Amino acid sequence: MALSGLFLVLFLLQHFSINFLSVLSPELFNETSHFMGTNVLVQFLLQPVLILGIIFHFVMGIYLEVKNNKARPVKYKKFNGGSNSSWMSRNMIFTGLVVLAFLGLHFYDFWIPEIVHKYVEGSPEDAGRYYGELVEKFEDPIRVGLYVISFIFLMLHLLHGFSASFQSAGWHSKYKPWIRKATVAFSVIIPLGFIFIALFHYITNV
Ligand code: HEM
């Protein structure tokens, strides 16, 4: 669970960096997306590993939640979880399911059309199409709103998940203050960055 989480954190960093290019330069975004979308290694090794990593992460998350609930069928008489645990750590399954629902919408928006375009219809490759396809999706205020809400839930999920992954992976406790700082920095900056990208394209296209 921890290793798949750390792997998804790396993916998020990569995904954010490429998407941020769409704000800086449409040409650079198109070039990078074209490379990622046509490179054999990315398409047939990294992409399947990523999809398996995502499936593993949420299947294990749901399995562990069910197992933990079964381990305590009778609830505590007096539950004072807030005294030694954060809201985020107690609601990982909830914030995770919201992120999963977002991924359903996000795959419907980008990933499925991409797979259909390339591997079902076998359409000729057009290296300049990516920017237009991305911007078009952010014209709809409802979709932009759903994305922004999802990114806030992603932030809440990461605020606990990021440092918990390091802890489960066995990092020495002397690094704890640094892991805490890195957790807050990553978990706030990356989702806020995604929110910025979504709002930027919405605002510059109205
Ligand atoms: C404004 C924010 C975002 C934008 C503009 C965006 C854009 C895109 C685009 C254009 C694709 C299609 C890539 C392709 O297969 O050709 C994609 C795929 C994907 N996105 Fe996002 N994304 C955003 C946020 C996120 C977030 C927050 C997550 C995770 C929680 C995420 C997870 C994924 C995954 C798993 C894929 C499929 C894997 C891949 O082929 O790269 N995205 N995204």
Residue 136 lies in a domain: yes
* Any atom of ligand 1 within 6 Å of the Cβ of 196: no
For 197, the token pair is 């990208």
Report yes or no: 144 and 199 within 8 Å, Cβ to Cβ. yes
Residue 79 lies in a domain: no
- Measured in angstroms, how far is the CA atom of residue 18 from the centroid of ligand 1? 10
Is the pLDDT reported for residue 82 higher than 80?
no
Q: Whose CA is nearest to atom 20 of ligand 1?
A: 106
User: pLDDT digits over 106-121, tens only?
Assistant: 999 999 999 999 999 9
pLDDT at site 74:
73
Residue 82 lies in a domain: no
- Measured in angstroms, how far is the CA atom of residue 15 from the centroid of ligand 1? 6
Separation CA 112–CA 123 (nearest Å) = 14
- Measured in angstroms, how far is the CA atom of residue 106 from the centroid of ligand 1? 7
- Measured in angstroms, how far is the CA atom of residue 151 from the centroid of ligand 1? 12
Pocket mutation for ligand 1, best pick of 30, 35, 106 (most atoms within 8 Å of C-beta): 106
Report yes or no: 119 and 182 within 8 Å, Cβ to Cβ. no
Confidence of residue 184 (pLDDT cuts 50, 70, 90): very high
- Measured in angstroms, how far is the CA atom of residue 16 from the centroid of ligand 1? 8
* pTM beyond 0.95: no
Helix (H) or strand (E) holding 13: helix 2-24
pLDDT at site 137:
97
pLDDT at site 71:
85
Confidence of residue 173 (pLDDT cuts 50, 70, 90): confident
pLDDT at site 203:
98
- Measured in angstroms, how far is the CA atom of residue 181 from the centroid of ligand 1? 26
Could you list the residue range(s) of the whole structural domain that residue 195 is in?
2-72+87-205
Helix %, strand %, coil % of the chain (to 5): 85, 0, 15
* Any atom of ligand 1 within 6 Å of the Cβ of 114: yes
- Measured in angstroms, how far is the CA atom of residue 188 from the centroid of ligand 1? 18
User: pLDDT digits over 30-73, tens only?
Assistant: 999 999 999 999 999 999 999 999 999 999 999 999 999 888 77
* Any atom of ligand 1 within 6 Å of the Cβ of 50: yes
Please state the domain count of the chain.
Answer: 1
Residue 36 lies in a domain: yes
Is the pLDDT reported for residue 157 higher than 90?
yes
- Closest-lying ligand 1 atom to the alpha carbon of residue 154: 30
* Any atom of ligand 1 within 6 Å of the Cβ of 106: yes
Contacts (Cβ under 8 Å, ≥6 apart) of 26: 131
pLDDT at site 120:
95
Residues in the chain: 206
Q: Whose CA is nearest to atom 15 of ligand 1?
A: 111
Residue 110 lies in a domain: yes
CB atoms inside a 10 Å sphere around CB 24: 9
Residue 81 lies in a domain: no
pLDDT at site 44:
96
Separation CA 185–CA 13 (nearest Å) = 12
* Average confidence (pLDDT) over 162-190: 91
Q: What average pLDDT does the structure give for the chain? A: 94
